[in-house]
Amino acid sequence: MDGTQLTQQETWVLYLAAEGCPTLRIPVPHSEAASLLFAKYRDCYGLGASDMEPNCGKVYDSTGAVIARISYNGRVWNEHDELMHEASNG
């Protein structure tokens, strides 16, 4: 990992959805915030990876294009599957 972060001038949207949980679209300013919010959602509802709906953890730009995805462990990956942000511990 080279320490590169997803950063931008516009607000992105993190999509969160899992069976039996609220579906959320949360504006996020950067990859670290997206990772932290994903982890809080996962932990708050005690979700396993198989509980999450398709597209849960994807980050969209203002055009609706997927610009990143968050894996179950909270790591953020860009559209080329390059690690953009390591998950925080805590």
Looking at residue 69, its pLDDT comes to 97
Looking at residue 7, its pLDDT comes to 47
Looking at residue 16, its pLDDT comes to 98
CA distance 32 to 21: 23
pTM (2 decimals)?
A: 0.85
For residues 17 and 23, is the Cβ–Cβ distance under 8 A? yes
Residue ranges in 1-90 assigned as alpha helix (H): 31-44
Give the side-chain half-sphere CA count within 13 A for 1.
13
Give the total residue count for the chain. 90
Question: Which tokens hold the place of 38?
Answer: 């994903």
Q: What is the DSSP letter of 73?
A: T
pLDDT tens sequence for the chain (90 residues): 444 454 446 789 999 999 999 999 999 999 999 999 999 999 999 999 999 999 999 999 999 999 999 999 999 999 999 999 898 765
What backbone phi and psi angles, to 5 degrees, belong to 78? -80, -175
